[in-house]
């Protein structure tokens, strides 16, 4: 699930589409989830990387020799 707390030790800033950010805010608000946006986005991205790990690693293997996603 995307709704669990994550401790983020080293933080970074990034840019994203304001409409996408508002959708994510609406999801958290409508579900009544008290979770930092950074944790929610981190959970979504990690799940995406886990789900598509083999596809990403196979595509990257054509370009390089090491594993790209090790989650």
Band of the pLDDT at 59, cuts 50, 70, 90? confident
Provide the pLDDT for residue 61. 80
Task: Specify the length of the chain in residues.
Answer: 71
Q: What is the DSSP string of 30-68?
A: HHT----HHHHHHHHHHHHHHHTHHHHHHHHHTT-SS-S
pTM of the model: 0.74
Residue ranges covered by each domain of the chain: 36-71
Band of the pLDDT at 4, cuts 50, 70, 90? low
Name the residue among 21, 19, 58 with its Cα closest to residue 38. Answer: 21
């Amino acid at each position: 699930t995307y709704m669990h707390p994550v401790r983020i030790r080293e933080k970074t800033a990034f840019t994203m589409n304001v409409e996408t950010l508002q959708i994510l805010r609406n999801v958290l608000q409508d579900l009544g989830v008290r979770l930092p946006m950074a944790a929610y986005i981190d959970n979504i991205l990690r799940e995406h990387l886990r789900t598509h790990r083999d596809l990403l690693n196979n595509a990257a293997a054509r370009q390089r020799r090491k594993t790209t996603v090790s989650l």
